[in-house]
C-alpha cells in the first residue's frame, strides 16, 4: 500500500476512491466537509444529525455513492474531545480505516484533514500519524498463500492524507516510515516458521542489513565454544542446527567516535520445544516466536540505521534452537557460563535466561555500554500477570526505568515495572552450583527469571523487558493484524530519540 500526502485541493473524486472526513466532538463538519456537503446536497450534515441521535456517536459512518461526487463512499469519522487526542488516537484512526476500505473493495482512500482546534498536535504531525497507523495496519504476511484469489486479497493500493502543507507532513512521515520499516522487518522475522528461520538463516538475514550501514559480526559455534559460552551452547546442544551470536553495530556518531554505545540484547530461541523438559503439544507451534526479543533488536537496529540516528548503538542476539535429542542437555546438568559462574539446569525449558546470561556478560565486557536493555519472550508467568498489552519491566536503575516509562506512555507500547530484590534472588541459589535456572516452585516466575539475568549484570544500568505477552497477539488491533506485533521497536526508538541522541 502506497502512502501519499497531497494538497487538499488535489483530491480526486473518482470511482474506487473513498473520502474520509474527520468530525469533532460537536459532530460539526470541518471546512472541507462543509464544501463537500454543499456539493452533495447536504447529505453529510443530514447523516451527522442522524448520528447525533444514535447511541454510538463515535463510530465511523459511511455515506454510499453520495450524489454529485463520483466516489464510492464518504466516511465520517468522529474524533473525541480535541484536547484529549494523542498520537495514538490518530494512529488508531488511520489503522481502523484500512479494513473499512478493504471491506468496501476500494482502491484508494483520501483523508481530508483540517487543522484541529484545541489539539496539541500540529496538522502535519496528525497527518503523519494517521498515515503511519494505516501502514502499520496494512501489514500482511502472505508469502506462503499460493492459492488466494484476487477477490480475497486486500484492494487498497493507495492511502492519501490531503491537507494544507503536504510537504511538512511528508517530512514528518519519512522518519516514521523508517521506524515502520524496522517494525515490518521484526514482524517478518517473527512470523517465519522455524524451518525457515533458524540460527544460521537468521544470521544471514541480519547480514543483509549491512546495506543500511550496519556492521554485522557473526560468531559461529566453534568460536563460541572456544570463548566459553557454556550456558548458551548447552541450550543449543540438542539441536541439529548450530548456535550463533550476532553483533550489530550502528556508529551514528561516526566511525572515529569513542563515545560509549548503548546496547540492546535479544533472546533468539528460533524454536522452543522445552528440550528434555518438553512442552505439551497444544500450542507448541507458537514457540516459533520465541526469537521475538532478537527480532525486535534487529528491527530496532534497522530503524536506527534507517533514520541515521545520531547515536552509537550495539545490538546483540543469541540464536539457538531448543530441541530434545540424544545429545540434549538434561535436567540436573551443570554448565559453566561465559562469566565463569556455574548453573544447575533444573528445567531445560527455562532456556532463554541461559542464552541471555552469556550474551549480557559479553556485551558489558566487550562494549562497556551506557546501558543494556534486553528483550525476551522469557516467561509464561508475565502473561498471567500483565496480559498481552503490557511488557514486564525489571531494572537496576530508576533513571533508565523512568525514561522507558515515559517512552511507553508516548508511544502506546506499554510496560509495567515489577520488583527485584534479595528475597527473590535467594530463590535461585543451588545446592551444587552457583545458581539454578528456576526457582523452587512456580512462585514469582517472571521475577526469578529477571533475578537470574541480573546475576550476569555488573554495575551497568540495565533493564529487562519480558515481552512474552506482547510480541504476538491473537486478535487484530487497530494498528496491527493478529500475529507478530513488532513490539519494542517504537518504544526503544523513542527512548533513544528522547534521551541518547546528539542534537
Q: What x-and-dash track marks residues 254-283 binding ligand BES by CB under 6 A? A: ------------------x-----------
Which of 140, 279, 330, 406 is catalytic? The answer is: 279
* Stretch 103-132 residues interacting with Zn ion (CB under 5 A): none
Among 66, 352, 369, 439, binds Zn ion (CB under 5 A): 352
Q: Is the dihedral of CA 274, 205, 172, 129 positive or negative?
A: negative
Q: What x-and-dash track marks residues 276-305 binding Zn ion by CB under 5 A? A: --------------x---------------
Q: Which three cell numbers stand for residue 423?
A: 528475597
Q: Which lies closer to Zn ion via its Cβ, residue 72 or residue 351?
A: 351
Identify the bridge partners of residue 480 per DSSP, sorted by sequence position: 477
Decide: is 349 part of the binding site for Zn ion (CB under 5 A): yes
* 3-state SS assignment for residue 122: coil
CB of 327 to ligand BES, least distance (A): 20
CB of 202 to Zn ion, least distance (A): 15
Which of 137, 353, 390, 455 is catalytic? The answer is: 353
* Stretch 304-333 residues interacting with ligand BES (CB under 6 A): none
Strands 333-336 and 244-251: unpaired
Look up 147 and say whether it is catalytic. Answer: no
468 interacts with, out of Zn ion, ligand BES, none, CB within 5 to 8 A per kind = ligand BES
Decide: is 238 part of the binding site for ligand BES (CB under 6 A): no
Report the alpha-carbon distance of residue 290 to residue 294 in Å, rounded.
Answer: 9
**First-to-last C-alpha distance (Å) of the chain:** 33
Among 4, 164, 215, 347, binds ligand BES (CB under 6 A): 347
Q: Which lies closer to ligand BES via its Cβ, residue 309 or residue 382?
A: 382
- On the CB side of 365, CA atoms within 13 Å amount to 11
In sequence order, the 6+-apart residues with CB closer than 8 A to the CB of 282 are none
Tell me which stretch binds ligand BES (CB under 6 A): 102-110, 310-318, 378-386, 495-503: 378-386
Strands 215-219 and 244-251: antiparallel
Among 275, 306, 392, 445, binds ligand BES (CB under 6 A): 445
Element (H, E) at 407: helix 398-411
* 3-state SS assignment for residue 405: helix
Tell me which stretch binds Zn ion (CB under 5 A): 235-243, 270-278, 424-432, 457-465: 270-278
Report the alpha-carbon distance of residue 37 to residue 23 in Å, rounded.
Answer: 13
Q: What x-and-dash track marks residues 350-369 binding ligand BES by CB under 6 A? A: xxx-----------------
Rg of the chain over CA atoms, in angstroms?
Answer: 25
CB of 299 to ligand BES, least distance (A): 18
Tell me which stretch binds Zn ion (CB under 5 A): 200-208, 268-276, 298-306, 485-493: 268-276
DSSP string, 351-363: -HHHHHHHHHHHH
Element (H, E) at 410: helix 398-411
Decide: is 349 part of the binding site for ligand BES (CB under 6 A): yes
Decide: is 377 part of the binding site for ligand BES (CB under 6 A): yes
Decide: is 374 part of the binding site for Zn ion (CB under 5 A): no
* 3-state SS assignment for residue 63: strand
Among 37, 188, 272, 321, binds Zn ion (CB under 5 A): 272
Report the alpha-carbon distance of residue 323 to residue 337 in Å, rounded.
Answer: 20
Report the alpha-carbon distance of residue 241 to residue 142 in Å, rounded.
Answer: 26
Look up 353 and say whether it is catalytic. Answer: yes
Cβ atoms of 132 and 94 within 8 Å: the answer is: yes
Residue with cell 510480541: 471
Q: Which lies closer to ligand BES via its Cβ, residue 72 or residue 349?
A: 349
Residue nearest to ligand BES (CB): 380
The number of residues making up the chain comes to 503
CB of 242 to ligand BES, least distance (A): 20
Which residues have a catalytic role annotated?
Answer: 279, 353
Interaction site with ligand BES (CB under 6 A): 272, 290, 347, 349-352, 377, 379-381, 438, 445, 468
Amino acid at each position: 500500500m502506497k502512502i501519499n500526502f497531497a494538497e487538499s485541493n488535489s483530491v480526486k473524486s473518482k470511482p474506487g476512491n473513498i473520502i474520509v472526513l474527520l468530525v469533532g466532538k460537536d459532530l460539526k463538519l470541518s471546512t472541507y466537509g462543509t464544501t463537500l456537503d454543499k456539493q452533495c446536497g447536504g447529505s453529510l450534515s443530514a447523516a451527522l444529525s442522524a448520528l447525533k441521535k444514535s447511541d454510538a456517536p463515535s463510530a465511523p459512518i459511511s455515506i454510499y455513492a453520495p450524489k454529485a461526487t463520483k466516489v464510492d463512499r464518504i466516511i465520517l469519522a468522529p474524533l473525541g474531545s480535541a484536547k484529549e487526542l494523542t498520537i495514538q488516537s490518530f494512529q488508531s484512526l488511520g489503522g481502523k480505516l484500512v479494513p473499512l476500505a478493504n471491506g468496501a473493495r476500494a482502491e484508494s482512500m483520501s483523508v481530508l484533514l483540517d487543522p484541529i482546534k484545541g489539539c496539541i498536535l500540529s496538522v502535519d504531525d496528525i497527518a503523519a500519524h494517521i498515515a503511519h497507523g494505516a501502514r502499520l495496519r496494512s501489514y500482511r504476511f502472505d508469502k506462503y498463500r499460493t492459492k488466494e484469489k484476487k477477490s480475497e486479497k486486500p484492494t487498497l493500493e493507495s492511502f492519501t492524507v490531503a491537507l494544507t502543507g503536504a510537504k511538512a507532513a511528508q517530512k514528518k512521515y519519512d522518519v516514521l516510515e523508517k521506524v515502520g520499516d524496522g517494525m515490518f522487518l521484526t514482524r517478518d522475522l517473527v512470523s517465519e516458521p522455524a524451518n525457515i528461520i533458524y540460527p544460521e538463516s537468521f544470521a544471514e538475514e541480519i547480514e543483509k542489513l549491512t546495506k543500511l550501514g550496519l556492521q554485522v559480526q557473526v560468531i559461529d559455534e566453534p568460536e563460541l565454544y572456544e570463548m566459553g559460552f557454556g550456558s548458551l551452547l548447552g541450550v543449543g546442544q540438542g539441536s541439529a542446527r548450530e548456535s550463533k551470536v550476532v553483533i550489530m553495530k550502528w556508529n551514528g556518531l561516526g566511525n572515529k567516535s569513542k563515545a560509549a554505545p548503548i546496547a540492546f540484547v535479544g533472546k533468539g530461541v528460533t524454536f522452543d520445544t522445552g528440550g528434555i523438559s518438553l512442552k505439551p503439544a497444544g500450542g507448541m507451534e507458537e514457540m516459533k516466536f520465541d526469537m521475538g526479543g532478537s527480532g525486535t533488536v534487529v528491527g530496532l537496529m534497522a530503524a536506527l540505521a534507517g533514520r541515521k540516528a545520531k547515536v552509537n548503538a550495539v545490538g546483540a542476539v543469541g540464536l539457538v534452537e531448543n530441541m530434545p535429542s540424544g545429545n540434549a542437555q538434561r535436567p540436573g546438568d551443570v554448565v559453566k557460563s561465559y562469566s565463569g559462574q556455574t548453573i544447575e539446569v533444573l528445567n531445560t525449558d527455562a532456556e532463554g535466561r541461559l542464552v541471555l546470561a552469556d550474551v549480557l556478560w559479553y556485551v558489558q565486557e566487550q562494549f562497556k555500554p551506557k546501558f543494556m536493555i534486553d528483550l525476551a519472550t522469557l516467561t509464561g508467568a508475565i502473561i498471567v500477570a500483565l496480559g498481552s498489552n503490557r511488557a514486564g519491566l525489571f531494572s537496576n536503575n530508576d533513571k533508565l526505568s523512568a525514561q522507558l516509562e515515559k517512552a511507553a506512555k508516548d508511544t502506546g507500547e506499554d510496560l509495567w515495572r515489577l520488583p527485584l530484590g534479595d528475597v527473590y534472588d535467594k530463590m535461585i541459589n543451588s545446592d551444587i552450583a552457583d545458581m539454578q535456572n528456576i526457582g523452587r516452585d512456580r512462585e514469582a516466575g517472571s521475577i526469578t527469571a529477571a533475578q537470574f539475568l541480573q546475576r550476569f549484570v555488573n554495575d551497568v544500568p540495565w533493564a529487562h523487558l519480558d515481552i512474552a505477552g506482547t510480541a504476538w497477539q491473537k486478535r487484530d488491533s487497530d494498528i496491527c493484524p493478529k500475529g507478530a506485533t513488532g513490539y519494542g521497536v517504537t518504544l526503544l526508538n523513542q527512548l533513544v530519540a528522547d534521551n541518547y541522541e546528539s542534537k
